[in-house]
């Protein structure tokens, strides 16, 4: 698992519209929160995405972006984004290549761990939260970022 102080692995994955999103490109525009979640439309994942959505404007004002990653398809992300008015990209890692690179694959390759990383513009991870079932600690990372 990627830790604070490590370099975040770069990636390129399709978003809900099929457009390729690269971490390196995002970092050119500022710090980026990258969060991994198990599945679209599940209760905890929906609550998490909506909580990030509700903080999006404040983060955008201070130049911080959000990217969500899960193993669902582009089509699933498109429906989820539309249903919950998610303003940031949700990326489809259907082969779990990026999920494995960050070390957040579930036990025995089943599922995905709920993890959130704050990545600085130089690619270094400056904060990390791993909490599989509770969204609160992930939102604490957001609140700390807003206070920076």
Residue of 103, 104, 98, 96 whose CA lies nearest to 72: 96
Name the active-site residue from 23, 33, 45, 99.
Answer: 45
Helix or strand holding residue 148 (H, E): none
Alpha carbon 40 to chain centroid distance?
13
**Burial profile 60-78: b = 16 or more Cβ within 10 angstroms, e = fewer:** eeeebbbbbbbbbebebbb
> What is the CA angle 4-139-108, rounded to 5?
60
Residue 50 appears among annotated catalytic residues:
no
Q: Are 92 and 67 in contact (CB under 8 A)?
A: no
The set of catalytic residues is: 45
């Amino acid at each position: 698992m990627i830790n604070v102080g490590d370099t975040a692995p770069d990636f390129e994955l399709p978003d809900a519209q099929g457009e390729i999103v690269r971490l390196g490109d995002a970092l050119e525009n500022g710090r980026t929160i990258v969060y991994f979640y198990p599945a679209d439309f599940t209760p905890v994942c929906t609550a998490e995405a909506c909580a990030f959505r509700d903080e999006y404007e404040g983060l955008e004002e201070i130049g911080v972006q959000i990217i969500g990653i899960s193993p669902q398809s582009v089509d699933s992300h498109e429906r989820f984004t539309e249903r919950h008015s998610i303003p940031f990209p949700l990326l489809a890692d259907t082969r779990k290549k990026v999920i494995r690179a960050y070390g957040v694959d579930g036990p025995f390759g089943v599922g995905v761990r709920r993890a959130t990383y704050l990545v600085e513009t130089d690619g270094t991870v400056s904060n990390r939260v791993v909490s599989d079932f509770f969204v609160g600690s992930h939102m604490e990372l957001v609140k700390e970022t807003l206070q920076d």
